[in-house]
Amino acid sequence: MPETSLIFPAAEYRGRVARLQEQMTTEGVDALLLTTAADVFYVTGFLTRFWESPARPWFVIVPVLGDPVAVIPSIGAPLMQRTWIEQIRTWDAPDPEDDGRTLLIDTLTSLVPDHGHVALPMGLETHLRMALLDYHAVRSALAPRRVVDGTEILQRVREVKSEAEIAKIRSSCAIAGRAFDRVPEIAGAGRPLDQLFREFQALLLEEGADWVSYLAGGAGLEGYGDVISPAPSEPLVRGDILMLDTGAVREGYFCDFDRNYAIGPASDLAKRTHEALWCATQTCLEALRPGMLARDVHHILCDALRAKGATPGGGRLGHGLGLTLTEWPSFTPKDTTPLRAGMVLTLEPGAITGADRILVHEENIVLRDSGAELLSPRAPAELPELL
């Protein structure tokens, strides 16, 4: 098979590694151990849906000096060899006696001095994708080396996207935008919601998504009960507000935004709430600047909703976006992450329309020195009406 797995030129990955190494130097860390699909893809360009199988762990080690080392199941070697990574160590996984543990320990001990520090992401919005027994064994075997938290190292680097990354996310957003434009082809009174979900995923593929990692939504009079449920088989009825929220993927990069549609004429409350959500987003688009904190976005959106007579609701009101459907930071009252130019973010205000009912609205942006630049095609100001 041809050389298709890089996604970006090697220079892109070298730049990422250099930025990670700079952070590692600042924090006195000798090696960074990565185990998740997004982190491994970020450093290597290794992109595969094979992560869907929980059978095997995958490791990439970024030393503070020199190139990354992949310690991976041999089934992944042909694909990893087509990336820019040159040091690839493999074992036959899954192995019930030693599933890469010894190879990982040997690699880490060869790269990190006896009293050095190995960092791995341990904080909010991270997890470790390896067997916990092996983690404990590796940690013990590394002593007197210390295992420390690498969340700051990774998140402060990954959260600022390169222009090449921004172009990929814009492309995913455009795909979803074209699919949303075609919703009138598949939605209307009498159409079962589960079937509509299938058809919408097919539209996303037709418009160029490589795969559809996320689709959620809901439908109901003046809003929906929650925004994470699978679709029920009940048909849409006149008066419903239909919401579709998708994370379509192209070349490893996600979009994450939603659109609302009224099935038949919408009620005044639904129209007013949709307008409040749209206007709150507009206010935020105009106000956003680097240097603000994540919690400031929450305040801006809540204030703007209240100014339009709407009641904020629906959890966090946006988040980071890129290699996964959602990334840090979170637009909550508590998140103090500083916003920086190059961050790709979602603005996702929600408003309560009744007992257990909400409406939500979402756009994707990149933050520039001068403010927000839309990546998703802007939703119409008026709630669109379908027959």
Q: Which of residues 317-346 bind its own copies (CB under 8 A)?
A: 319, 324-328, 330, 332, 334-336
CA–CA distance, 221 with 357 (Å, rounded to integer): 9
Overall size of the chain counted in residues: 387
Check the CA dihedral 176-180-183-187 and report its sign. positive
| Residues 6 or more apart whose Cβ sits within 8 Å of residue 325 | 213, 214, 247, 254, 256
Q: Based on CB atoms, which residue is closest to its own copies, 5 or 283?
A: 5
Confirm or reject binding of residue 152 to its own copies (CB under 8 A).
no
For the segment 247-276, give every residue that binds its own copies (CB under 8 A).
247
Cβ 377 vs Cβ 177: under 8 Å = yes
Tokens in use for 232?
A: 């029920």
CA–CA distance, 179 with 184 (Å, rounded to integer): 10
- Stretch near its own copies under the rule CB under 8 A, chosen from 15-23, 199-207, 235-243, 376-384: 199-207
Q: Based on CB atoms, which residue is closest to its own copies, 107 or 330?
A: 330
Determine phi and psi for 204, rounding to 5 degrees: -60, -40
Match 């074992």 to its residue by tokens: 91
Residue from 226, 369, 382, 385 touching its own copies (CB under 8 A): that is 226
Q: Based on CB atoms, which residue is closest to its own copies, 199 or 275?
A: 199
Q: Based on CB atoms, which residue is closest to its own copies, 161 or 283?
A: 161
Phi/psi region, residue 371 (left: phi>0; alpha: psi -120 to 50; beta: rest), is left
Binding residues with its own copies: total (CB under 8 A): 90
Cβ 241 vs Cβ 265: under 8 Å = no
Residue from 106, 185, 234, 382 touching its own copies (CB under 8 A): that is 234
State the CB neighbour count (10 A cutoff) for residue 377.
Answer: 17
Residue from 1, 143, 355, 387 touching its own copies (CB under 8 A): that is 1
Q: Residue 184: is the preceding peptide bond cis (ω within 30°)? A: no
CA–CA distance, 75 with 88 (Å, rounded to integer): 12
Q: Residue 78: is the preceding peptide bond cis (ω within 30°)? A: no
Confirm or reject binding of residue 216 to its own copies (CB under 8 A).
yes
What is the per-residue DSSP string for 131-175?
-HHHHHHHHHHHTTSEEEE-HHHHHHHHTB--HHHHHHHHHHHHH
Least distance (Å) between residue 290 CB and its own copies: 20
Q: Based on CB atoms, which residue is closest to its own copies, 7 or 379?
A: 7
Q: Based on CB atoms, which residue is closest to its own copies, 136 or 378?
A: 136
Least distance (Å) between residue 265 CB and its own copies: 22
Tokens in use for 343?
A: 């961050």
Confirm or reject binding of residue 53 to its own copies (CB under 8 A).
yes
Residue from 12, 152, 181, 199 touching its own copies (CB under 8 A): that is 199
Q: Based on CB atoms, which residue is closest to its own copies, 101 or 161?
A: 101
CA–CA distance, 206 with 198 (Å, rounded to integer): 12
String marking each residue 281-320 x if it binds its own copies according to CB under 8 A: ---------------------------------xxx--x-
Confirm or reject binding of residue 149 to its own copies (CB under 8 A).
yes
For the segment 76-135, give every residue that binds its own copies (CB under 8 A).
76, 78-79, 92, 94-97, 99, 120-133, 135
Residue from 43, 47, 60, 173 touching its own copies (CB under 8 A): that is 47
Q: Based on CB atoms, which residue is closest to its own copies, 72 or 284?
A: 72
Residue from 102, 214, 287, 373 touching its own copies (CB under 8 A): that is 214
Confirm or reject binding of residue 143 to its own copies (CB under 8 A).
no
Q: Based on CB atoms, which residue is closest to its own copies, 236 or 283?
A: 236
Measure Cα distances from 90 to 1, 56, 100 in Å: 20, 12, 8
Least distance (Å) between residue 276 CB and its own copies: 21
